Amino acid sequence: MGKTLVVVESPAKAKTIKKYLGSGYEVLASKGHVKDLPKKMGVDIEKGFQETYEIVPGKEKVLAELKSAARDAADILLATDPDREGEAIAWHLAEELTGKPNKAKRVEFNEITKNAVQKGVASPRTLDKHLYDAQRARRVLDRIVGYDVSALVWSKLAFGLSAGRVQSVALRLIVDREREIEAFVPDEYWNVGAQLAKTEKNGGKKQPFFARLAQQDGKKIEVKDGETAARVKRDLESFAYRVAKIGKSERKRRPYAPYTTSKLQQDAVNRLGFGAKRTMQVAQGLYEGIDLGKDGGAVGLITYMRTDSTRVSPDALAAVREYIEQRYGKSTLPPEPNVFKSKKGAQDAHEAIRPTSLEHTPEAVRKHLKDEQFKIYKLIWDRFVASQMKDAIFDQTSVDIEAMARDNGALYMLRASGRVLKLAGWLEIYGTTDSTQAGDNDEAKTDGDNAKEPEEGEATLPELTEGESLELTTPPGVIAEQKFTQPPPRYNEGSLVRELEERGIGRPSTYAEIISKVQARDYVEKVDGRSFRPTVLGKMVVDGLVGSNLDFMDPTFTSSMELELDAVEAGSEERIDLLSRFYKKFREQLDKSKKGKRWNPEPEPTGETCDACGPQSDNEKLRALAPGEMMKRWSKKGWFLGCSNYPKCKNTRDLGPDGTGAAKPREAGVDCDKCGKPMIIRSGRFGEFLACTGYPQCKNARPVPLGVACPKCGGDLIEVRPKKKGGKTFYGCSRYNDETVKCDFKLWQKPIAEPCPACGAKFLVMAGTKTKPMIACADKECGYKRSVDQPASASAHGHADEHAAAAMHA
């Protein structure tokens, strides 16, 4: 008798499950989808949105192996992931392996543990048509919008561009946020306060604390200009201070719920610097199984990682409560398990993301995990354990302080607040400070200089009594700091996922894909390696689609579509009805939008005469033309200057993707080494270069010197771009092609015309990474380095002191 064939999605998952099922089972992997829509449309709208599926290129061998195993199998169990996508994969597998999808046996594993796998295999079910119909509906919607709207963007903007149903909405959010930032007008305000201390007798040690200005003559005061700030500061410097009122209260902080997919992605971005896609890849590996070096194989460490539920099974609750009592003591355990509400509309099909076993502590499994796996696992572990601990309790104190003129004239009131941790509770895991969970709150607040401000109420106050006198401590005494309100922050991956979730756009299984596709196109760029900023092209695409009045670009419409897809999954709406209703209106809107004008901007005159055509040209055809004007134009590669005589004159000059490149050449202060005429700095498609003013008679051009002399021969260091595609740019001597000198000096890091303050080397280099760039000494033995935003003088003294100390020690 043949074995039972179990088909899963990934080889890693297959290996783990095989260990739990034994010799009577053969476990193979489909390695994801085996069938999908073709590159062409693949949807016959006239025949009820009938799809044409094809074998995914490269999956022929995998499918052949599965079919061979299926022919000899006594039974076939389809154990793909427990969601819409997994159900659709199982549906296609059933067609290919059995030919009778309605009789296929489907099993689910919400966690890859021995108990869960054996329980799942023992309880097979039929394929859920509603579940895979919801996936089919989403796939067809995405294909219709992507196929037709991409063609619209091609015709209106530039060939080769694309648009997606949900990704375009996410792009709109990024563009809308950028427009908010551009339109933002900062308001001036002043932080005014005083550092005070009790008047200690007998020379006792003073404990200073800070109090902020709150009122003047019983009314709230907001200082919004320097003149008022200076007046208030003068007053406070001469006034007398006393404690007017002390208020004490007990504050509680409830623990956070265990992770949902979106909260995990948000925290991974903000706490670990992991992107959404990377986070899900790491979590997938933890779910499918890690070889812990015992019991003969891998163990699934976490439950299924695509979920919007905060629900936890009774068995898991009992286990974590037992663990908390043993590890942290009974005093940290609430009388009853903490219960958390899932967000409105959550599908609740799977539990929250949690460890599968409390025996596998992060410390115990660390040696078996890669660094990124350990970090994600510890996030999940800490969050889950902390979720079932007691509230953190603080003693909160607020102090009102009167500042009075010594002649009993003007009266100000300042306020100080502080708190003391009374019971750590769940903060036993997160630390005794009120750490910000970026997945639940905004990122840590910073002032205009990016210096982190303390959270309200974090200060430690001395023992105070009402009516006692206080005195200013100097320095700093009275402080009056000018501030400006800040624009809303750009989205990063974490905050964009949060926005998508709050608006009901996408589902746990799609967040990472949405973020990935937004970045894959030239519609956004990352600022400082983390924040999304739309490119000019991205803005044009969004403006064109929004201006075309297409419903799918409305976030509210996209959110309602997600609810309709949920209705298909629940069986309360038919797939065909949803698609027909959507397509009818979409087609009407699309046909109207095709009649409008193109979306790219009209050429702008610059007043600059083209230097490649007209009487001065050495080309007979171009010399016959009247001199053209260089016009500012746009293509999908960015802004450029082009001659008005185009296409007869094809003279162009690149202005960069944002159009900020120099519209006119700049003086270089260098003479041409061929004809002696002055050279100018021009912008080309590969950046700036030196060009002779004798053009077109003299066509000499060369790289712009970086202002650093070659340490080997005294020539100029320049940027050298490789001739071969894919070659790496380097920095070398301008004489590398000189037949008389032939200097071969080369650097891989860009030199900077600044001497090293530590060792005296004549130049520094750009070092570090894209996300953490540094300025460093080219001499590795020196070791000097600083961040790019740190001025040279700020670090020079410190390094000089280090070298002096080293010399004294020697």
Active-site positions read 304
Phi, psi of 574 (to 5 degrees): -85, 140
Kind of pairing between the strands at 687-692 and 701-702: antiparallel
The C-alpha atoms of residue 703 and residue 681 are separated, in whole angstroms, by 9
Torsion angle defined by CA atoms of residues 595, 600, 606 and 611, in that order, rounded to the nearest 10 degrees: -100
**Furthest CA-CA distance within the chain:** 104
Tell me how far apart the alpha carbons of residues 261 and 538 are, in angstroms, rounded to a whole number.
Answer: 28
Q: Locate 782 and state its tokens.
A: 């020196």
Both tokens assigned to 735: 């004489």
Of 141, 34, 133, the C-alpha closest to 84 is 133
Residue 193 CB partners (closer than 8 Å, separation 6+): 210, 211, 212, 213, 414, 478, 479
Bond before 696 cis per omega within 30 degrees: yes
What are the residue ranges of helices labelled H in 521-553?
A: 536-547
Site of tokens 């799809």:
51
Answer whether 143's CB lies under 8 Å from 37's CB.
yes
Q: Which is it for strands 469-472 and 240-253: parallel, antiparallel or unpaired?
A: antiparallel
Three-state secondary structure of 687-751: EEEEEECCCCCCCCEECCCCCCECCCCCCEEEEECCCCCCCCCEEEECCCCCCCCCCCCEECCCE
- Tell me how far apart the alpha carbons of residues 196 and 206 are, in angstroms, rounded to a whole number: 9
Report phi then psi at 777, rounded to 5. -80, 140
CA 655/CA 683 separation, integer angstroms? 7
Q: Which residues, in sequence order, are CB contacts of 428 under 8 Å at separation 6+?
A: 328, 332, 386, 389
DSSP 353: B
Question: How far is the C-alpha of 321 from the C-alpha of 696, rounded, in Å?
Answer: 82
H or E stretch at 228: helix 226-238
Evaluate whether 130 touches 571 at the Cβ level (below 8 Å): yes
How far is the C-alpha of 559 from the C-alpha of 551, rounded, in Å? Answer: 11
